Structure 1
Amino acid sequence: MASWFSKSPEKLVQSANKLKQQQQWLQAGDEFCEAAVLYKSKDEVEVANCLRDAANCYIKVDERYAIMAMEAAAIIESEQGKFQYSAELHKNIAELALSLDRKKPRIDNWLSIGGALDMKRQIRFRQFCQSSRSMSATRLAVQHLEKAADYFNSEGSPANEADCSAQMAELLADSGDLVEAAEIYDKLAELAWKHEFLALGAKTKAFRACLCRLAAGLELRMDEMEKRCPSLTGSDECTLVKSLDEACDSATVDAAIRQFGRLNQADEWTKRRLDAVRGKRAGPRLA
């Protein structure tokens, strides 16, 4: 039997498709990746297509292989100026990374399940990109959401850009990076105010920026915030954050939250930030 490097990429793709029909997902993914290697010096479009196909196979077996294939495809798509395609791949990578985080695998050991094929895969993927194997799943998701947002921005797609940035901010806040999350929410509030079809979300983004700043023990600067986001002014959310900013103990915080809760239902993300604000009242405020 001829070794894979003596085959043509076309025959490898045919073989991969047959393996797909037999639901031999790992082997099919390998064949698609091997075809991508052989296409590399001939046809970059086919390289990206093969890597996408490989990812779709690997995802049936282990998302870590799919992530590596998608990372490689995203780089090639961006090099070809196909930023919309690259953005979608980065967004998909983030979703897979979060799926891995929920499963709690050994994310630091991407190549843990393939036996003798591990080294071959490692060498193969390194021909396309250096995968960030030492990164946590959450940080990996944030990294790729940021890339997706940048590419959506370059393609003039503010709704998709905002969606990715909002996911980034949520993850950063939950992982303790409150200042960075607040900065992203600030930018999202401004972006929403500039685009009529996003305007309904401006107040929510500004509110979340305020909660992140309060949870981090930072000064609010409400006058500046209300200038950037007029829809926040006079709202229940504005009243709440002003009350929280003036609160000096947890009892005052609880009273403000109860008042807000009479007419508003806080979501789980907001509740987590409010709990953090309650904890901060006992400590000094940062500058």
Structure 2
Amino acid sequence: MSHIETKAHQLMQEAEKKLSSGGFFRNLFTKSSERIEESIEYYMRAANLFKMSKNWSQAGHAFEDAADQCLRNNNEAEAAINYVEAAVCFKKCDVVKAIDLYTKAIELYQERGKFLMAAKIHQNIAELMEDDYDLNEAIQHYEKAADLFKQECNFSSANKCLVKVAEYAALEKDYDKAINIFQEIACFDLASSLMKYSAKQYLFRAAICLLCTDTDFIPKLQTYIDMYPAFENSREYQLIVTLMESIYKGDEESFTEAIRKFDTSCSLSQWHVTMLLRVKNQRMCNRIDLK
């Protein structure tokens, strides 16, 4: 055990002593709230020393103890901060514990009307679920984050979360949900003169999802052109048309070549590649007349 950790353990013991009975005279002249405040200070000092030693579990427990004592002192604001600090530590060693602490912080922030803070924590939990490959849980927390961001009129952050929801919904084969969200975000961007040029990216993603479905594709694609006429002249639209033609002809080589050429000029994300590969596997194996 390092010198720093030894000091941290000593501070934890001091914190516990502050909370234990100090005898009649000490209790007579010292308010309970003052003793709790002193213990909180010791817990937080210990937590930071454990962090310096990269002892994430002990650091997390120390911050959690500090948060619990903040609640005893009716200081919900500081409690929420310390629960988040504890969760950040546990992210490195115990994801389940981290989520439990994040959830406590969310409840405290929502009770105090701090919806923006609660939204950011839901976003943090969603990112943890991404790392753990639990896409359904990630979707739920991104949706909650988006709702809270919208409540605070932070539509930019809400849409970033909704993009994640749509991407994961598509990967989970919930295409209708993904398409509706991508269309909704495209409409939002089209309402802004500064953001309208990014709408084609969301219409492109919606179109890729449409290719995965049995939906009558052509009328829907025309709807996107009606929404945003410039979309018809975009590389994204031309790629979709080329892919449709390749599927109709059963030309797997031209399908692959079209994606390769597009990726050379406009780099595709892993999501795009995954979804386009799915389109190829589904539609080339079971061709559907697109005329």
Bigger mean CA deviation after superposition, 274-283 or 144-153: 274-283
C-alpha separation in 1, matches of 2:19 and 2:232:
65
Alignment-derived partner of residue 273 in structure 1: 275
Equivalent residue runs for 1:179-194 within 5 Å = 179-194=176-191
Separation in 1 of the partners of 2:258 and 2:287? Answer: 25
1:224 aligns with 223
Number of the residue aligned with 2:92? 60
Corresponding residue number in structure 2 for 1:17? 45
Rounded to whole Å, the distance in 2 between the matches of 1:151 and 1:179 is 23
Change (3 A) 1:217 1:29: same
Amino acid at match of 1:32: F
Alignment of 1:117-136 (within 5 A): none
Select the residue among 204, 209, 216 that pairs with 2:206: 209
Post-superposition offset of 1:250: 6.5
Task: Identify which of structures 1 and 2 has the higher relative contact order when contacts are C-alpha pairs closer than 8 Å and 6+ apart.
Answer: 1
* Aligned-pair CA distance for 1:71: 1.9
Counterpart position of 2:250 = 251
Question: CA–CA distance in 2 between the matches of 1:13 and 1:213?
Answer: 57
Aligned with 2:153: secondary structure?
A: coil
**Structure 1 partner of 2:109:** 77
Letter in 2 for 1:229: Y
**Larger relative helix fraction:** 2
Question: Deviation string for 1:163-215 (max 9, x for gaps)?
Answer: 11112222222232222212211111111112334323210100100111111
Q: Structure 2: which 5+ residue stretches go unaligned?
A: 1-12, 21-34
Determine the structure 2 residue equivalent to 1:46: 78
Tell me which amino acid in the other structure corresponds to 1:194.
Answer: A
Q: Closer, same or farther in 2 for the Cα pair 1:4/1:166, shift >3 Å?
A: farther
Percentage of matched positions with identical amino acids = 26
Question: Which of 28-37 and 162-171 deviates more?
Answer: 28-37
Label 1:258 to 1:31 Cα distance change in 2 as closer, same or farther (>3 A): same
Decide whether aligned partners of structure 1 residues 19 and 155 sit closer, same or farther in structure 2, where only a CA change above 3 A counts.
closer
1:86 to 108, 118, 121: 118
- 1:21 Cα offset (Å): 0.5
CA distance in 2, matches of 1:36, 1:244: 56
When structure 1 is superposed on structure 2, of 277-286 and 189-198 the one drifting more is: 277-286
Residue identity opposite 2:230 in structure 1: S
SS of 1:176's partner is: coil
1:229 Cα deviation from its structure 2 partner: 3.1
TM-score (norm 1): 0.75
Give 1:256 deviation, angstroms. Answer: 5.0
1:56–1:66 contact (8 Å) kept in structure 2: yes
- Corresponding residue for residue 126 of structure 1: none
Deviations 1:40-69 (A, max 9, x none): 362221221221121122223223322221
Cα 1:158–1:253 change in 2 (3 A) is farther
TM-score for the superposition, normalised by structure 2? 0.74
Structure 2 counterpart of 1:143: 140
Paired residue secondary structure (1:156): coil
What do you get for the CA RMSD once the two structures are aligned? Answer: 2.9
Per the alignment, residue 131 of structure 2 pairs with 99
Q: Confirm or deny: 8 A CA contact 1:51 1:69 kept in the other structure.
A: yes
AA aligned to 1:17 is R
| Separation of aligned partners in 1, 2:37 and 2:116 | 26
Distance in 2 (alpha carbons) for counterparts of 1:181 and 1:32: 39
User: CA–CA distance in 2 between the matches of 1:260 and 1:61?
Assistant: 41
Structure 1 pair 256/48, CA: closer, same or farther in 2 (3 Å)? Answer: same
